[in-house]
């Protein structure tokens, strides 16, 4: 028995039955055939989702990029000058089309036409009108110039009105204000009439003890008339009267 398991004793082993080998081969071929035919007969058992992925056509390739835009070509026409060092030279080519320049005819100088107007008179100015006279006087009728309306009253600054003053009366310092050492300025609003007298005099600001003396003095002041457009007008202005004690 031990000798049957050794390779050296292979020649001594018993040979197998050939019918057994043939039968085994036929069984294996039949088994393989059955395994091949079963998927062909029973198609419902196949994985449809996996088969559909195999049957879907691949997406088409992307379209090629558009060709680049053509660069516009600029044709530069070379201008050939016909001047050579300030002198005309013979042209190298004769142009196909020659433009004819027609000058306007000047009007005749005689026949009663003067300054380009038919029917003018001799000695008239250039660009005159039909039926005009010598010297360019078209119409001898005087033209009425609208008169500018002058206002009845204007407002001027204190500096302007001070320049028109021709007669000034100094105010009397009130004794009570002097004893109380009251001093300061009194501002008055006044209207200077057309003849230079003071009208509508009123107090704007100032100490009550100094204001009456200032008003009595200013009422006696006289001014030169203020003229506007050659006519005298009333002037509205302010007048300042200062009261100052000696020694401050």
Q: Which domains does the chain have, with CATH numbers?
A: 1-54 (no CATH), 153-243 (3.30.2420.10)
| Ordered DSSP codes for 46-88 | S-HHHHHHHHSPPPPPPPPPPPPPPPPPPPPPPPPPSEETTEE
Q: Report the pLDDT value the prediction gives residue 41, as an integer from 0 to 100.
A: 73
Phi, psi of 53, deg, nearest 5: -65, -30
Q: Report the pLDDT value the prediction gives residue 111, as an integer from 0 to 100.
A: 46
Q: Report the pLDDT value the prediction gives residue 129, as an integer from 0 to 100.
A: 55
Q: Report the pLDDT value the prediction gives residue 220, as an integer from 0 to 100.
A: 94
Distance CA 196, CA 223 (A): 4
Phi, psi of 236, deg, nearest 5: -105, 125
Q: Report the pLDDT value the prediction gives residue 113, as an integer from 0 to 100.
A: 43
Return the closest-CA partner of residue 190 out of 163, 215, 170, 224: 215
Distance CA 222, CA 169 (A): 9
Distance CA 143, CA 147 (A): 12
**Cβ neighbours, 10 Å, residue 214:** 25
Print pLDDT tens along the chain (248 aa). 445 555 444 454 455 678 888 888 888 888 888 888 777 776 665 566 665 665 666 788 888 888 887 777 765 555 555 566 666 666 666 667 766 666 666 665 544 444 455 555 555 555 555 555 555 444 556 666 666 677 888 898 888 888 999 999 999 999 999 999 999 999 999 999 989 999 889 999 999 999 999 999 999 999 999 998 888 999 999 999 999 988 76
Query: How does DSSP classify residue 45?
Result: G
Return the closest-CA partner of residue 174 out of 164, 182, 165: 182
Query: How does DSSP classify residue 115?
Result: T
Phi, psi of 141, deg, nearest 5: -70, 135
């Amino acid at each position: 028995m031990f000798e049957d398991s050794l390779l050296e004793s292979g020649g001594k082993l018993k040979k197998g039955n050939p019918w057994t080998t043939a039968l085994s081969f036929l069984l294996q071929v039949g088994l393989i055939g059955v395994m091949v035919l079963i998927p062909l007969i029973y198609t419902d058992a196949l994985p449809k989702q996996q088969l559909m992925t195999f049957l879907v056509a691949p997406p088409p390739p992307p379209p090629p990029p558009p060709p680049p835009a053509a660069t516009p070509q600029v044709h530069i026409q070379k201008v050939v000058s016909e001047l050579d060092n300030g002198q005309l030279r013979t042209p190298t080519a004769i142009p196909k089309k020659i433009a004819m320049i027609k000058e306007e005819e000047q009007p005749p100088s005689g026949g009663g036409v003067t300054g380009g107007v038919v029917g003018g008179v001799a000695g008239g100015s250039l660009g005159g009108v039909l039926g005009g006279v010598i010297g360019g006087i078209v119409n001898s009728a005087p033209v009425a110039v609208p008169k500018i309306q002058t206002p009845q009253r204007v407002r001027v600054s204190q500096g302007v009105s001070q320049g028109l003053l021709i007669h000034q009366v100094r105010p009397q310092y009130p004794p009570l204000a002097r004893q109380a050492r009251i001093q300061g300025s009194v501002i008055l609003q006044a209207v200077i009439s057309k003849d230079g007298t003071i009208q509508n005099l009123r107090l704007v600001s100032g100490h009550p003890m100094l204001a009456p003396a200032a008003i009595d003095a200013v009422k006696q002041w006289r001014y030169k008339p203020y003229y506007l457009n050659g006519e005298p007008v009333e002037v509205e202005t302010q007048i300042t009267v200062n009261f100052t004690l000696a020694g401050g």
